[in-house]
Structure 1
Amino acid sequence: MSKFILNKILPLFFLAFILLCFNCDGRDSIKKNHTQVLEENNLIQEFSEQVTYIPETNLETVTDTLLSSGYKIHIKTYFNMDSSVLKTRHQDSLNLKSYYRNGLADVIISTDDNVLFSKTITKTFIRENLSKPIEGLKSFILKSIWIDENTALNGTVIAIQMEYCIPETQDCLTFKLSVKTSGEYQLKQL
């Protein structure tokens, strides 16, 4: 029996092993480019797409201002990590996706004894408080928010200005939030 294994089966096994080794040398894929190999293995999407989030982590800025008229203005800006605006572009064979996070701003205007205004500024806040709706506001993100110094000095109205822009463009909208000493407020587009 052992002679039979040595004479008949072992050479066949050895021959099969050699054929297996020489047939898996990659000759069939050597003439293909990387894209074709990735497409055959259903991996093209993983290597042809680059995704970035701007910002990658949450950033927060707090500004506290005390006016000579006695008003305190607290503005805290941060990003909604669950909401973003997508911008896509193609470069060479790559599909570049940039997710720009939507900015939020908590604005509190107060005096020593009471709070006149306390709201979070979002695109929803702007849409709900403008007298005339703006088409396409969802493609804009909060770029900056600041105190209007000209109105802050008169003492009867505190004005906060906000700039919303479409990412990667110069297309921007500016809004002015005017808060009276009675707590009433008005929002308008400049």
Structure 2
Amino acid sequence: MKNLIIIIFLIYTFSIMNCDGRYRSQKSHQQVLVDNKLFDSFSKQVQYIPEGYSEIVTDTILNNGYQIKMNYHSIETDYVLEENQTLNQIETAHHYKDFEAHLMVLKDDHLLINTLIDKSDFNKFENPSFWKKAIMQFLWVDYARSENNTLYLNTSFCTPDNQVCKDFVIKINEIGNLEIDAINLDEHIL
């Protein structure tokens, strides 16, 4: 019994002494990661912009009788992907989340519009390749321009790769008709 314990102890000791990593001492860190199939997980950085759920809620009443309830928020399942590669062979993937806005407009306590505003509403103004990369940047009430019979909202769509932006005005009249116009048809760079 005593000999069995000594034999087990010797086998354990020799096995520990042989696990000192000498076989990796001449390899680079990158080669060790490749050998252990871990290189891909360390060579790609993924970033979500914004990192978490983002939301802006607007609930306002104008002196011309319009009441605007707007919930502008990020879409967690819809994003534009932009990938780059650095000098160290590290690949970065930026996932820019798209946005949409739930809009409810009332005039003198009468519901005019209850709709969702997203980039699909603006398809006729630009080619499909722009909309594939575009993200809704903002949706806001144009308080100064709004009149007694018309409410004005502004929105902007930009591409994250080259910051080409398209601006639009959304007009809602007192009977609930919604009209979208492009503010500028030329590209401008921020």
Whether the TM-score (by the shorter chain) exceeds 0.5 is: yes
Tell me by how many angstroms 1:48 deviates: 0.9
**Residue 171 of structure 1 aligns with which residue?**
164
Alpha-carbon distance in 1 for matches of 2:94, 2:113: 35
Residue type matched to 2:136 in 1? L
Alpha-carbon distance in 1 for matches of 2:173, 2:13: 89
> Counterparts in 2 of 1:30-49, with a 5 A limit?
30-49=25-44
**Residue 120 of structure 1 aligns with which residue?**
116
Seen in structure 2, the aligned counterparts of structure 1 residues 107 and 151 have a Cα distance that, compared at 3 Å, is same
Q: Secondary structure at the match of 1:28?
A: helix
Q: Secondary structure at the match of 2:91?
A: strand
**Residue 135 of structure 1 aligns with which residue?**
128
Question: Paired residue for 2:74, among 79, 84, 88?
Answer: 79
Alpha-carbon distance in 2 for matches of 1:23, 1:113: 81
Question: Paired residue for 2:138, among 127, 136, 144?
Answer: 144
**Residue 24 of structure 2 aligns with which residue?**
29
1:87-108 Cα distance to aligned partner (Å, 9 max, x none): 2122323211111111111111
Tell me by how many angstroms 1:25 deviates: 3.6
Verify the 8 A CA contact 2:71 2:101 in the aligned structure 1.
yes
**Residue 156 of structure 1 aligns with which residue?**
149
Alpha-carbon distance in 2 for matches of 1:74, 1:61: 11
Question: Paired residue for 1:100, among 80, 83, 96?
Answer: 96
Tell me by how many angstroms 1:162 deviates: 0.5
TM-score, normalising length from structure 1?
0.80
Instruction: Note the aligned Cα RMSD (angstroms).
Output: 2.6
Alpha-carbon distance in 2 for matches of 1:155, 1:37: 70
Unmatched 5+ stretches in structure 1: none
Tell me by how many angstroms 1:133 deviates: 4.3
Verify the 8 A CA contact 2:107 2:174 in the aligned structure 1.
no
Question: Paired residue for 1:54, among 49, 54, 70?
Answer: 49
Unmatched 5+ stretches in structure 2: 184-190
Q: Secondary structure at the match of 1:117?
A: strand
The count of corresponding residues between Structure 1 and Structure 2 is 178
Residue type matched to 1:175 in 2? F
Tell me by how many angstroms 1:112 deviates: 2.7
Tell me by how many angstroms 1:26 deviates: 2.5
Verify the 8 A CA contact 2:168 2:180 in the aligned structure 1.
yes
TM-score, normalising length from structure 2?
0.80
Alpha-carbon distance in 1 for matches of 2:108, 2:13: 89
Q: Secondary structure at the match of 2:31?
A: helix
